[in-house]
Structure 1
């Protein structure tokens, strides 16, 4: 079902504000945007023949998280033991091509497909890293506010061009 324009725009604003929280390192505030049943998955892309039903593994993931495990990652991000992110990476999320659908039976739920490009810079080096792909997000209105209940990230990369994924996508 087509999403009414005002709700579509609210969703876009929500995702742009979410990206700003991540880029600004406000991870505790970012956690508040998740529902209690939140799931976050980045399946491994596998290079397969054209006839294969999907390019993504059903069995292997770079990340397969819940709100509880994301909370643990955020606690670690603020700890003195987060060596992978000391000094912290500078990230910038670019979101584009927002496509939205709405279930006729769930007026408080919107599914978005969004293309993204993530820039990551580190140290004082002139080098940088990019990740690109498509996000499949489900947002749900909870107590009058939009929250993310599900995020599936489909990377364009079969091999991730980064030393670690200690950042949030």
Structure 2
């Protein structure tokens, strides 16, 4: 894993890509964000598991809290842009903060594993403000000369997430 990368290197371009796509999410620019996804994009959020054995996996490898594809996300964003998104009016305030971005180039030279820690602040009346942290593991690929997000897996740092935390896009 690379902690600090040369901005002119391929890994540096991947880090800039990750910060840019997060900026688009923070700005509610979903139409632009979805253009950064590969056609086979997968968004997964494994279910946290409380275990007595500290050696046991902390997340399920079978059960997901959330699974999205580029197609389901397009439907979600189309609904948000429509006049029928009553449950999302007024929209929540949210801000994503990335730290500890790590990039690993794979052997093909066109694919990178990206890992980062993310803190999301969310606020919407009448609910109390929330801070949610997670580990985010992404796969970024070069497709036709452009970088695309191929997969995102989010590991929430919450043992029993609520619906608002699950519905957030990390």
Q: Scaled by the length of structure 2, what TM-score is found?
A: 0.88
Q: Work out whether residues 130 and 161 of structure 1, in 8 Å CA contact, stay in contact via their aligned partners in 2.
A: no
Q: What is the number of residues matched between the two proteins?
A: 167
- Contact kept? 2:15, 2:103, Cα under 8 Å: no
Please name the residue that 1:96 is paired with.
Answer: 99
Preserved CA contact (<8 Å) 1:129 1:161:
no
RMSD: 2.1
Q: Match for residue 68 of structure 2?
A: 65
CA distance in 1, matches of 2:166, 2:96: 15
In structure 2, distance between residues paired with 1:51 and 1:164: 25
Check conservation: 2:104, 2:114, Cα contact below 8 A. Answer: yes
- Unpaired runs of 5+ residues, structure 1, are none
In the TM superposition, 1:1-169 aligns within 5 A as 5=6, 6-104=9-107, 106-123=108-125, 127-161=128-162, 163=164, 165-169=166-170
Question: Alpha-carbon deviations, 1:4-60, whole Å to 9, x = none?
Answer: 732222112111111111111111111100000110000110101225531112232
Separation of aligned partners in 2, 1:75 and 1:45: 30
Q: Distance in 2 between matches of 1:52 and 1:76?
A: 42
CA distances 1:76-97 after superposition (whole Å, capped 9, x unpaired): 2212222332111111110010
Q: Please, which moves more after superposition, 126-135 or 152-161?
A: 126-135
Aligned counterparts of 2:47 and 2:19: Cα–Cα separation in 1? 26
> Could you state the TM-score of these two structures normalised by the residue count of structure 1?
0.88
Secondary structure of 1:54's counterpart equals coil
Q: Deviations over 1:108-165 (max 9, x none)?
A: 1010110000011224x69411110100000001122111001000001011255464
Q: CA deviation at 1:71?
A: 1.1
**8 Å contact kept, 2:11–2:105:** no
